[in-house]
Amino acid sequence: MARAILIVLDSVGCGGAEDATAYGDEGADTLGHIAQACAEGRGDRDGLRSGPLHIPNLARLGLSRACEASTGRPLAGVPQPATPQGRYGYGVEVSQGKDTPSGHWEIAGCPVPFRWGYFTALENSFPPEIVAAIIREGALPGILGNKHASGTAVIDELAEEHIRTGKPICYTSVDSVLQIAAHEEHFGLERLFALCKTVRVLVDPLKIGRVIARPFLGNRESGFTRTGNRKDFAIPPPDETILDRLAAKGRPIVTVGKIGDIFAHRNTGEEIKPFGNAAMFAAALQAFEQLPDGGFCFVNLVDFDTEYGHRRDIPGYAAAIEAFDRTLPRLEALLRPGDLAIVTADHGNDPSWPGTDHTREHVPILAFGPGMPQQPLGRRESFADIAATLGDWLGIGAVGPGRAW
């Protein structure tokens, strides 16, 4: 019986979304602009990387051709094979927004049928009644922040006051999110998680996609650093996903990274959550190697987004893509006849773009496995085509409104 692994390269979009103008993102192109910067020397960093984007394995699987199908432009400086291996194309998001839950739910067969709520005011971002409820229900002396902010910057700015007063740091962005940062030792990690659960209930009527715990450590002398204990508290998907169908059929499920958080831990099977792309991919490979027939492994690699996209770090982003490329042969070596591997993304986060937030883009889709014939997938009208294909491949029937390839 076939197995499948689905890897989401968080934010590795490939430009071209027709409705990008509505999001202020017309012309954004995460992969295209990274490749162009590398080809022009703007992706160089001493001791990290230099030269054109070097991704021979992803190129062999058709990534540059997928990008060209999406935008009309191949990846600058990336050689294209005459005949890519496997199947390649790009997906168009039908859900509104450019958030992590929207992209992942649609990939899993559940496009978002509603508009997310947002905190749009740059200062005093949260409604007074929400602030009052957070303080009351959380038994807090108050909150800090209450604005749009970069997570690392707002911690640097307010960490000392947070430690002195015991007030958590609450902030947001253009995404549908309320983030709460607190010191693991001075405030307490479990206390932070409990507070986020409380706030999750408070913002449910506003359709806020995620409440995110952002724990950190450190002091004024050493500096403050976010830890790997981030935890997302998301609204559960409003309809069936590939995970729900597989669980109903009794199939083995392993989720790696923040998949469990994104799906509100609903039918997310064995959850593995190490810190960092390298550790997460190593854990995914180990889990997939041991995965029984008929099983499914769902992986999110978040560093592209959190460490490099939001920080507008082109060399770091390019190096992370190259690092993933070097590991791909290890996955291919684990694939048995009948197995299916899919590599895709959930949105964009163009590191050359103004601001610090996600960008509305198409996503690349690469599908491969032993003996799979080369075939252009072209334009897929919904990310949900991925779930439909996985359902057919795993013998549980197409899931969601997508069309299997």
pLDDT tens string, the chain, 405 residues long: the values are: 899 999 999 999 999 999 999 999 999 999 999 999 999 999 999 999 999 999 999 999 999 999 999 999 999 999 989 889 999 999 999 998 898 999 999 999 999 988 889 999 999 999 999 999 999 999 999 999 999 998 889 999 999 999 999 999 999 987 899 999 999 999 999 999 999 999 999 999 999 999 999 999 999 999 999 998 999 998 899 999 999 999 999 999 999 999 999 999 999 999 999 999 999 999 999 999 999 999 999 999 999 999 999 999 999 999 999 999 999 999 999 999 999 999 999 999 999 999 888 999 999 999 999 988 888 999 999 999 999 999 999 999 989 999 999
Q: Are residues 299 and 197 in the same domain?
A: no
pLDDT at residue 82, rounded to an integer: 85
pLDDT at residue 213, rounded to an integer: 97
Q: Are residues 253 and 386 in the same domain?
A: yes
Helices and strands: H and E segment counts in the chain: 13, 14
Q: Are residues 245 and 226 in the same domain?
A: no
- 405 domain-assigned: no
pLDDT at residue 371, rounded to an integer: 87
> What is the CATH classification number for the domain harbouring 267?
3.40.720.10
**For residue 28, what is the DSSP state?**
-
Q: Are residues 224 and 243 in the same domain?
A: no
Q: Are residues 183 and 312 in the same domain?
A: no
**For residue 264, what is the DSSP state?**
T
- 403 domain-assigned: no
Distance between CA atoms of 261 and 370, rounded to whole angstroms? 32
pLDDT at residue 152, rounded to an integer: 87
Q: Are residues 145 and 169 in the same domain?
A: yes
120: tokens are 């749009």
pLDDT at residue 1, rounded to an integer: 86
Distance between CA atoms of 29 and 309, rounded to whole angstroms? 12
Q: Where does a domain end: 178, 209, 233?
A: 233
Distance between CA atoms of 9 and 140, rounded to whole angstroms? 37
Q: Are residues 172 and 74 in the same domain?
A: no
Residue with tokens 């650093």: 225
pLDDT at residue 250, rounded to an integer: 98
User: What 3-state class would DSSP assign to 256?
Assistant: strand
pLDDT at residue 108, rounded to an integer: 98
Residue 397 burial (CB count, 10 A)? 11
User: Where do runs of H (alpha helix) occur along 223-355?
Assistant: 242-248, 259-262, 277-290, 303, 314-334
> What is the CATH classification number for the domain harbouring 197?
3.30.70.1250
Q: Where does a domain end: 233, 263, 285?
A: 233
301, amino acid identity: L
Q: Are 140 and 131 in contact (CB under 8 A)?
A: no
Residues with Cβ < 8 Å from 228, sequence gap 6 or more?
274, 275, 276
Q: Are residues 304 and 369 in the same domain?
A: yes
Q: Could you tell me the pTM of the whole model?
A: 0.88
User: What's the full length of the chain, in residues?
Assistant: 405
pLDDT at residue 85, rounded to an integer: 92
Where in the sequence is the domain holding 218, given as residue range(s)? 128-233
- 121 domain-assigned: no
Collect contacts of 159-166 with beta carbons under 8 A, ≥24 apart: 159/183, 159/216, 159/218, 159/224, 160/220, 162/186, 162/187, 165/141, 166/140, 166/141
- 122 domain-assigned: no
How many domains would you assign to the chain? Answer: 2
Q: Are residues 244 and 226 in the same domain?
A: no
Q: Are residues 94 and 140 in the same domain?
A: no
- 119 domain-assigned: no
Give, in order, the Cα–Cα distances in Å from 401 to each of 84, 115, 267, 349: 28, 19, 20, 26
- 102 domain-assigned: yes
pLDDT at residue 115, rounded to an integer: 85
- 399 domain-assigned: no
pLDDT at residue 212, rounded to an integer: 95
pLDDT at residue 97, rounded to an integer: 85
- 370 domain-assigned: yes
Buried b (16+ CB within 10 A) or exposed e, 167-189: bbbbbbbbbbbbbbbbbbeebeb
pLDDT at residue 394, rounded to an integer: 98
